[in-house]
Structures are given as structure tokens and as C-alpha cells.
Structure 1
Amino acid sequence: MQYGSWSKSQELDVLSKAMYHARELAMSRMRAEAAAMGADGIVGVKLTIKRLEWDEHLLEFIAIGTGVVHGEGHKGFRAHDGGPFTSDLSGQDFWSLLHSGYRPVEMVMGSCVYHVAHRGMMSGFGTMGRNVEMENFTAAMYEAREIAIERMQFEAAAAKAEGVVGVDIHEGSHGWQTHVIEFFAIGTAVLPLDQEIAPEKIADPIMVLSVND
């Protein structure tokens, strides 16, 4: 376990790297399973973290998704390494992406575990009974989110993607000490399809009411 200074806001880089590496292991094993099945990609990927009751410092990372195969055997949808692409988009969003002229390359993510500095006793007395912004908390939370998003964007650039869709940012303390929180940014990096789709063939957007949990 890594600890931060009581009065200093800072990234806990050891924890950031550990959380990222654990997710990478889970993702790589999921991809290996999909490759063994002959899948071209994996959609609807979910990454979950579960605390294990037999040790407070143990976390289980689970990656799960649905392997898909191109109906005509086209291999152009695979990732740069020839393995299955990964995407956290739902089946509906995946269909919409393809019909907009883009394809998924891989899931990209960024993690930042951050310690938010405690406020001093005098600061607490100075704001007692008043509605005020906790500026040190605001600045720390903003910086931590920015670090996570920048790392996700760096992964997308490394994959030579043109953008990232379906971006989501998760926050969690995972049972760590107070004032320690992880920001996790995740999305699907995309590239244009090999064959450009004429704008008039792209369906007009429609409102969709999700009935999923």
C-alpha cells in the first residue's frame, strides 16, 4: 500500500500502475480467449473490480465481453496486432458506429490514483457555518481526472486512432484509506472504414430510450 502526505495532493503512482497493469492482464486474457474462438473482435466489454474478503488488499479484476465474427470473413476489422479488436460499445452503438463510417480499433484507458490533501484545522474553523467551495478538493479532483483522460488519449494516439467514442469516467476508493480515490477513463478508439461511406447513406440520428439497467 502506498501512502501520500497528509497535507499534499499528489498522485500515488505505484497504485496507479498496479491498477492499470491488473486491468491489462484481465483484458489480454479475454482477448486470448476470443482469439482461440476465431473472433474478429469483442463488443460490450465490461471491466469490473471486486474486493476479496480474505484480504483487504486484494482486488479481483474481471473483463467480460461478446466475441463477434465478420459475416463475410473480412479481417480488416482486427486490431493492429492481428488479434481481436476490443470495444466497450453496446451492440446497438457498435452498429451505429459502423453505419457512420467508422470501426473500433481497441479499448483505451487511463488510470490515476490520487491522494487529496486534508484541510488544516485553521482552514476548517475559517469556513465553519458557511457555504464555500473547498478549493483544494476541487483542484485535486480536477487534476486527477485530467491525468486519467490524458493517459487514455495517449493510448488512442499510440493506436493511430482518429478519436475516442463512448468515453466514461469511473471513480472509486476500493476500500483504501480516506482521501484516496481512483479516476479511471475508458473508451473505444476508432478509425474510418477502409471504404468511405457517402454522407447521404448515413442514417439520420434518432432518439433512443434505453431500457437497460
Structure 2
Amino acid sequence: MTQVTGLSGNEIFCLAKKNMRPGEIVVGNSVNSMGFFGSIGAGVGNILGGEIAQITSVIHDGRAHAFSRMVREAIQHDADGVAGVTSELRSLRGKTEFLFVGSAVHVPGNTKALFTSAGDAQELYCHMDAGYQPLQHVFGNVAYSMGIGGNILGSLKTMVRGEIREFSDIFNVTRHVALERLVKQAKASGANSVVGIRTTIEKWMGVHEMLMTGTAAFNSDLPQWASLNPVTSDMTGEELWSMTSLGFAPVKLLMSTSIYSLGLIGGFLATVKSIKKGEISDLTTLIHDARVNAVDRLKREASEIGADEVIGVKTYIAEIGNGLVEFMAIGTAVKKISGMTVKTSALPVQAIIRDRDTWIDGEFGVSLDRQSA
């Protein structure tokens, strides 16, 4: 019977270079409800602020069930692995569907346990060529709220210009909780690294959920301490391969958030100045201070863990209401380690070229992309 795979031509080429071939699309889902008691628990957590454990648990369990079903379907297809695993969260008339989709991979003569990879087959090629053998798609999540109490305290402090440490602490703690849960899951699979970490933050049931996904992997060239404390990286597959070829290994994914307020007086002055053409110095200074504060935290943490550099630093800034601005910095701390090397001298272009979507219009993609190549 004809095979149907979600892997592209470039991905199939990359698999062939590693003596693997594509298999069927595999799917796992779970439709859940918070339930009456869960909603009460979530409401209490919302008042107190911080993590809403009830919601975190429901979302995690829903994803775990859906993921297990996808794996079972892959086993039914005699797969040796699943590549390009993606997860979605969909609302269906007040209920939530947790969905996992991937493509089965076959490895002739394989005797190892089935692996799952959060990266697509192109990224999988880069990971394997850099020595990171995939074990399991892993994820860590946390649902959180600043809470009514936090909002009251923050509202009072927004009258004064500067960082709102209570809010900064909530955001920093919750982001690191998600990372810690991701690492814990990786350790349970016998991994000494988590590569290709991707972070998303979205609203669900009136709170925010932070989700981190990645591929738990094992690299025999990493130091022994990595087995006890797996390294973490949000570098792309190409970046990881390039840094490995230079003798570097990731140490830890670093994150830092600063929540700043312009203050009541500063906000009024900025509004008045915006009427005239020119620089709004109050806002310039505020954003500069927030940026410096967040980046300084990255530097301090990198120094504490003995990293040589923090690379691929990405910065994000957003208004979060009540005159508050969130500034976030995220990057991977790396260290030069003897013995780190790649298997081939250069990546094939098929591992680098990103595939274009060809269905682009309408809710379900109802017209073809006719742009010239």
C-alpha cells in the first residue's frame, strides 16, 4: 500500500545520508476537560499568583497521553523512530484537544529502542552528525499568573519608575521551572543533553502557559558530569553542528526577564513629550535599563557555571499592561571541550535549506502559492 509521510524531499535526503528511510505519519491525541474541581483549584491559584499547579498538571497529563498514543501508533508501523514531532493545543467547545504529530522513521538492522525527535529530519541530521544521538522528545511546562495580590502590589509600585522585582521574580522563576521539568524528563530517559529547545508562551483558560520542547540525546564526547546534569541548548541544528565543529559544547540554556515600570510621573512626561517630534528620553532610558539588567543576569549566570560565551542571544520586549514593560533575553552558554567534533566536514545543502509552505491562504489553506521560485 502507498506510504504517506509528513517528511519533505530535503528531509528524506538527510535521512538517507544517515541510513534511514521515511515511514508513515503517526498521530496521537487526547481531549480533556478541567472539570469542576479543577476550575476551583485554578481560581484559588489565580488569586495567590505564581504557578497554577492544577492547570499545569492537566495540560501536562493531556500532552503525555497524546504523546503515548502517537508512540504506540509508530510501534504499530514497526518504526525505529519518529522525526519532526510537533504538539498543538486546540479548543473544542470548551474542551481542549492535545495533539502530537510526527513521521515514522525506519533504520535497517536497528536493535535500539524507538527514538522520538522534536526536530525535523534536517535538524535530526545535524544533531546526529554532531554526535548527539536522539533518545526522546521531551517537554516541560508551567501555567502561571501574577495573581490579584501581585497586581495590587505591582499597581502601587508602578507609581515609581524602575524594575518591579516581584514581577521579575515571578516571570524568572516560572520560566526556569519549565526548563527544570524538561531536564528531569531527559534524565529519566538516560540523556546527557537536551538539544533544539523551543519555547512558546500562550494564554489558556485565563492564565499563561510556558512550554519548552526539545530532543533528549546522548553524546559520548560530553564530560561525565553531563550525565548528572544534562546540558541544554536552544541552538538550531545548524548552529549546534557549527559550534561542535569548532570544539564547543552547550552548557546551559540561559533566560532572564526584567519587568520595568516607567512610573506615574515618567508616564505623564512621556505622554506630553510624544506630542512633539523627537526622542522620548524617559522611554529610551527605561528600555535601555531593562535591557542592560536582563543581559547582565545572563552574564552573571554564565560566569557562575564556567561558560566561555553566551551565543545566539535573542531579546524580546513587550508591553504587559498597567504601564509595565517586559524585557526578556535568552541564549545558550557554551564552553570549549576537548574531543568535540563532527562526523563530516560540511553539511549538505539539503540539511540547511528550509522548505517553503505551498498552501498559504484561508483558514485551511485553500489556494496554492504561485510565487515564482
Give the TM interval when normalised to the shorter protein.
0.7 to 0.9
Q: For residues 314 and 269 of structure 2, what CA distance do their matches in structure 1 show?
A: 37
**Where does residue 105 of structure 1 map in the other structure?**
251
Instruction: Note closer, same or farther for the CA distance 1:24–1:126 as it changes in structure 2 (3 Å cut).
Output: closer
Equivalent in the alignment of 2:180: 28
SS at match of 2:310: strand
* Stretches of structure 1 lacking an aligned partner (at least 5 in a row): none
What's the counterpart of residue 149 of structure 1?
295
Partners of 1:47 and 1:62 in 2: how far apart? 6
CA contact (8 A) 2:309 2:333 kept: yes
Residue 195 of structure 1: how far off its partner (Å): 3.7
More helix by share: 2
Specify which of 196, 208, 213 is matched with residue 59 of structure 1: 208
Indicate the structure whose relative CO is greater, using CA pairs within 8 Å and at least 6 residues apart.
Answer: 1
Match of 1:167 in 2: 313
Q: 8 Å contact 1:41–1:78 — kept in the other structure?
A: no
Distance 1:137 1:100, change over 3 A: same
How many percent identity over aligned positions?
Answer: 27
Q: Does 1:83 align with 2:235?
A: no
Aligned-residue offset at 1:38: 1.2
Deviation at 1:117, TM superposition (A): 3.0
1:113-161 CA-partner distances (Å, limit 9, x unpaired): 1112354667755663x31110000000000010000001111011110
Which stretches in structure 2 are left out of the alignment for 5+ residues?
1-149, 347-351, 358-373
Q: Indicate whether 1:93 and 2:239 are aligned.
A: yes
**Aligned match of 1:182:** 326
In the TM superposition, what whole-angstrom CA distance separates every residue of 1:145-187 from its partner, at most 9, and x where no partner exists?
10000001111011110110111112234xx423211111111
- Encode CA deviations 1:44-66: one digit per residue, 9 max, x unaligned: 1122222233x3xx321211111
Q: Separation in 2 of the partners of 1:106 and 1:39?
A: 14
Return 3-12 or 151-160, whichever deviates more.
3-12
Counterpart residue identity of residue 336, structure 2: P
Q: Which of 260, 263, 266 in structure 2 is aligned with 1:117?
A: 263
Kept in 2, the 8 Å contact 1:165–1:188? The answer is yes
Preserved contact between residue 302 and residue 309 of structure 2 (Cα < 8 Å): yes
Taking the aligned partners of 2:173 and 2:269, their CA distance within structure 1 comes to 40
8 Å contact kept, 2:262–2:286 = yes
- The higher radius of gyration belongs to 2
Q: Secondary structure at the match of 1:35?
A: helix
Amino acid at match of 2:201: I
Alignment RMSD:
2.9
**TM-score, scaled relative to structure 1:** 0.80
Aligned pairs, how many? 198
Kept after mapping to 1: 8 A contact 2:270/2:282: no
TM-score between the two structures when normalised by the length of structure 2: 0.48
Specify the code of the residue in structure 1 equivalent to 2:329.
A
Is the alpha carbon distance of 1:69 and 1:212 closer, same or farther for their aligned partners in structure 2, counting shifts above 3 Å?
Answer: farther
The structure whose residues are more often strand, as a share, is: 2
Following TM superposition, by how much is the alpha carbon of 1:196 offset from its aligned partner in structure 2, in angstroms?
Answer: 7.9
